[in-house]
Structure formats: structure tokens, C-alpha cells
Structure 1
Amino acid sequence: MATGIRAQNLREFRDGLLACHPGSIYHHFWGRLLQPQFDEPEYSNDFAAWVFHGLHEKALAERLSVVDPREYDDMEALRDELVERVELHLEEMEFIPWARADQQFHFMRSAIVVFDTGVEIQDPAQLADLVAHMSLGSVFYHFIDARRRTEHRCDDFCAWLGGMSDTYPELRRRIMTLDPYFSSLKELRFRLAELFREYFAGGET
């Protein structure tokens, strides 16, 4: 969804970061995972990609690309980090870089629409087969977006397993080692399914 905020130069980009809804920050870091990718993206978020391709500012693009959203408590803390890096770059520049008229950055937001698939399980061992057939949207919702919803900011699998006394601490530990940010959703689904298969094939508890 368009927010109506756009930028054509680096100063307008900084102002847009300050003014946009927190959901826009979230979208430009995580939403790209749901978009079709035909090759390996050079930069890890939309902000860094535009700074490089639109403004041709490689140094700043690299500074923005190494920002890992998982390291920040919320979107406001992440926003502050982005703004600080952009402002530091502005202070180092003699001229403000501009993008061409057809390469403006448009701050976007997204809305998640949730459907009940009707699929329910009682035994965690069923995860091994179930996860392998989950849609990519379900993988995103349960493994990534869940971190905004769950009490301990973890994925839905760990939250569910954590409610079963202390039966699956090792499985939860293994799940938490998976990196959701620098992987595609297909890769993440595969790694999750393999993790569950290996764990339950070994008869661990």
C-alpha cells in the first residue's frame, strides 16, 4: 500500500524515514521476502538497494545493508539507526545526491491477511511432514511475522513447543539458530523441514 511519502534525493529520503509509519520500515526490510526473486539480491533491504541503484551511493548502501533488523527491540529503534546512518553520510557530502525522476523511492506498507487453513496438529512430530508442504506465506507468518506477536518475540513453532512444559528445549534451541533474514523463504522452509525430520528421526525429546 502506498503511504504517499516518496523521495528523490538523500535529504528527502532521510525525511521520509523520519515521517513514515513503522509498518513501512518493517515492510522494506521483511516484505521483500514475499516478492518473487529471480536472482540473489545484492542488498538485504529495499532502502540499501535504492540508495545504490537510485542514488549510486555505494558506501551508504553498504552501511544500510548490514543493518540486521533482528538486533533492534522495535521498529522505532531500527528507524533511529537508519536515520543516524543517513545523516552521518549527509554530513560527509558536499552535494546532495539525486535520483532520476523515474527512480524515486516510494515508502510502502503492507497488510497481512490471515486465513485459517483448517490444518491442525497435536503431536510436534507431525511438523516434519507438515512444514515441507506449507505455503511460503505461512512460513513467513509463523516464522517471521510471529516475532511481532508472541510474548517472547519468537516464532510460532518455538512459542507452541514452549507451552509443552520443558519437553522440547533442544528442538527450540535448534529452531532459534535458523537465520530468517539472510535466507529465502524456500530455503527457510527446507531447513525447517530438515531440522524437524532429523530431530524426530533421532527419537529425541
Structure 2
Amino acid sequence: MSTEVLLEELEVLESIYPTELQRVSERDIHIEAEPDDPADGAEAVKVTLCVSYPDGYPDVLPNLSLQAEETNFNENDVQGLINDLRAVGGENLGMAMTFTLVSHLREQLSKLVQSKADELERAEEARTRGTPVTPETFTAWKIKFDKELALKKAQEEEDKLRVLTLKEREEWKKLGTRLTGRQLFERNKGLEDETLLEEGTISVDITQYERTREEVEPEEAVTFSDSD
């Protein structure tokens, strides 16, 4: 390709991108590109397309690279954009293709930015929604909770014992081994353990002493007469 033809294309590009295009040399340019349709609420994204024209251009592809330092794009994102540009360039061999490449880049940036925004939204929803509870996750949580509770109670007891005298500690430990009334009841339902009953205690069936309502005849009334 002659220098005159390349200069003609560059002049057209400068009229289209008056502030975005920068000539680095006779055969190298940088063009800033932004998404055609930025995602709502997404950060502004701007990349720089670096184009180097070889002698065989446009019958051969130009050398392409991207500068995207101020974006959240990773290496795979950048490489994917470059691969797309090379594919489009291969479809336009023999023609001035820089404008087509920049237009395609802007479209792909819109899609990529929207994809990143959707990914962040899904991550935020998952964070606020929390982890679904299953029997397995509940069991794991219960084991952890019981362990933490036991450690906490042990620490509290240790703190209490630390300020007690030796005698008070012994009394405290004895209290801790005594069964409560409810525990005794659960342990000896039906009073089956006779060792807890006093000797000579008689079981009483209170159903034998159910009272019934009886009609009581009033006593014979005493009357007084004025005639006597």
C-alpha cells in the first residue's frame, strides 16, 4: 500500500475522531474507544486501540493491540476483544478497515461492560440472599454453634471460679453435679425408682375419692306461734 493511500485514510479518520485519534508515527496510530451503549450505573470505560500498518495493508491485517489499564478487564477479556477485531479485519481484507474495526470495538465494549455489570449484580444478590439452608449445612452449623456455646460457658465458669475461695469452688462444683427437679422427674417417670421414695409411703389413687354432689335436705324448720 502506498503512503499516499494510507495518508488519505488517516485524514478521514482524523475528521471522524478529532479528539480520540493520535498519530504516533507515519504508520502507527492510537484511537481511544468507549462503549456505544454504556450500562446503567456502570463505571465509564475507555480503552486505546493501537494500530500499526504493515507494508501490505490493507491486503494484510494491521498489527493490533489494546491498552485497558484503567478498566476492570482481565487478560482474557482483552485477548477476546483483540481476537474479535482480527476476525472482523479478516473479513475486510483489501479495504480500508480501521473505521470498521473501531466501530466493532465499541459494540464489543458495550457487551462486555454489560456482562461485567450483570456479574456484579448476581454476586451482590447472592451475598445479600445468603446461603440456602439444607440438612447438611444446618447440621454443620449446629455442631459449630454447640461447640462455640460450650466454650463460652466453660470460659464463663472459669471466670467465676477464679474469684471464688477454695471452699466456694467446691460448693460451686457440687451444685453443678446436682440434678434439678425436672431432671429428677424425667429420670424417674412414674416414680419407678423406689430409692427416691420415703420408707412406708403409700400410693394413693385419688380417683377413689371423687366427690359427687349430694342434695342435702334442710333441717326441719322451727316455727313460733303467737297463740301459746
TM surpasses 0.5:
no
| TM bin (shorter chain) | under 0.3
Compute the TM-score of the two structures, normalised by the length of structure 1: 0.27
Pair member with larger Rg: 2
- More contact order relative to length (CA 8 Å, sep ≥ 6): 1
Compute the TM-score of the two structures, normalised by the length of structure 2: 0.25
Higher strand share: 2
